[in-house]
Structure 1
Amino acid sequence: MEEKSVKARIVSAAWKMFYDKGYDRTTVDDIIELSGTSKGSFYYYFSTKDELLSTLSTVFDDYYEELNAQMDQEMNSYDKLLYLNYKLHAMIEEKINIDLLASLYSTQLVAKGQRNLLDQNRLYYRLIARIVEEGQKKREIRNDKSIGEIVKYYALCERALVSEWCLNKGNYSLKEYSKEYMPIMMEHFAVDQN
């Protein structure tokens, strides 16, 4: 358990430094100092600073775990999906450097190996699937599409909003744009509660 917390502290510190100082100006020593760890701990988990770039999905999943714990469990399942989307996009806008995010998204397009953001075993996909399944059982989300199809569409909409924001160099608020457009993109799956 302690080992995971050391790694998590390194990852969290790294992404804070990347946002505050920029990726190129952040040093391994900066990350070690902010995380309160040691060089030995850093190099136990990561060979280079570059390896930290593949941890963005971990940062997102850790945040989803926090959001899930904070979320009103009595909320309508469809509203839970919109809540998670808004909160994640607010975090991205406030804490992830847009140039680094755009670069990471582009590397995922050409990556030959594993694409961490698309890993179906991530907490993200499991959480969204659980909410969709719950929503279908409660008749809050349509059940004429499979859970997998709805999760895939939801993820596609989230990525589309982030990609568009990156293409526009962040010249508008991602969270407010998502608040306006994610409901429109997802409304097909909501069951009218009237």
Structure 2
Amino acid sequence: MDDSRKSVKDRIVSAAWDLFYEKGYDDTTVDDIIRLSNTSKGSFYYYFDGKDALLNTLSTVLDEHYKTLREELSPEMDHFEQLMFLNYKAHSFMENSIKVDLLASLYSTQLISKGDRSLLDQNREYYKLVASIIEEGQKAGEINDSKSVSELVKYYSLCERALVTDWCLNRGSYSLAEYSKEYMPVMMNRFKEKRDS
């Protein structure tokens, strides 16, 4: 999205994550974020208590990416292929835009959080997009309907998180995107509708 069309909050979030990747979380200051986002200190503190509060915005950053990916989905692909494309592109984005140590920290904070777990928020763009692809895939006979849409969404997201968690545990020693490209279809294969030849 063009920066001029982003809300002040979105500009702050976007700038913060660019800086976290470029400089690292510890070396990024609130002043750096304000400068890059072209906002004010008042605006920053209106939305966030401090830099730590931005860690919970990972789901916002990812959902902005999913909005872009929605536009890239080709009608030439069947719905199972769309899910695999989505997984590959999302994991490519994570691998290339979020440092593995920061991603690992974020996942661990979601595990111990007593409040909302933003990554599990079913109102996220991510869950809506995956659900719509699965629902359309079931209608088209490309994804089997032995399980409900919500059960398949839960399983799909569980598989994605498992791949990301293993990548973090291995400190990014292999390509998340390429590993996902190879193994996500294996993990999801039982839900791919088998066509009669």
Distance in 2 of aligned mates of 1:102 and 1:132: 28
- Measure how far apart 1:74 and its partner are: 3.6
Aligned to 1:68: 70
Residues 1:92 and 2:94 are matched in the alignment: yes
Aligned to 2:13: 11
Aligned to 2:186: 184
Aligned to 2:146: 144
Aligned to 2:163: 161
**2:84 counterpart letter in structure 1:** L
TM-score, normalised by the number of residues in structure 1: 0.96
Distance in 1 of aligned mates of 2:174 and 2:5: 39
Q: CA RMSD in A?
A: 1.3
- Measure how far apart 1:73 and its partner are: 3.0
Aligned to 1:171: 173
Distance in 2 of aligned mates of 1:135 and 1:88: 20
Residues 1:32 and 2:34 are matched in the alignment: yes
Q: Deviations over 1:125-168 (max 9, x none)?
A: 11111110000000000011110111000000000000000000
Residues 1:41 and 2:46 are matched in the alignment: no
- Measure how far apart 1:70 and its partner are: 1.9
**Percent sequence identity over matched residues?**
64
Distance in 2 of aligned mates of 1:33 and 1:187: 47
Distance in 1 of aligned mates of 2:154 and 2:160: 10
Which structure 2 residue ranges, 5 or more long, are not aligned? none
User: What SS does the corresponding residue of 2:93 show, helix, strand or coil?
Assistant: helix
**1:137 counterpart letter in structure 2:** K
Q: Deviations over 1:65-111 (max 9, x none)?
A: 11001221342110111011000100000000111110110111111
Which structure 1 residue ranges, 5 or more long, are not aligned? none
**1:122 counterpart letter in structure 2:** R
Distance in 1 of aligned mates of 2:34 and 2:74: 36
- Measure how far apart 1:40 and its partner are: 1.8
Distance in 2 of aligned mates of 1:155 and 1:137: 21
User: What SS does the corresponding residue of 2:7 show, helix, strand or coil?
Assistant: helix
Residues 1:132 and 2:149 are matched in the alignment: no
User: What SS does the corresponding residue of 2:152 show, helix, strand or coil?
Assistant: helix
- Measure how far apart 1:192 and its partner are: 2.2
Distance in 2 of aligned mates of 1:55 and 1:45: 11
- Measure how far apart 1:35 and its partner are: 1.3
Q: Deviations over 1:47-72 (max 9, x none)?
A: 11111000000111110011001221
Aligned to 1:20: 22
**1:54 counterpart letter in structure 2:** N
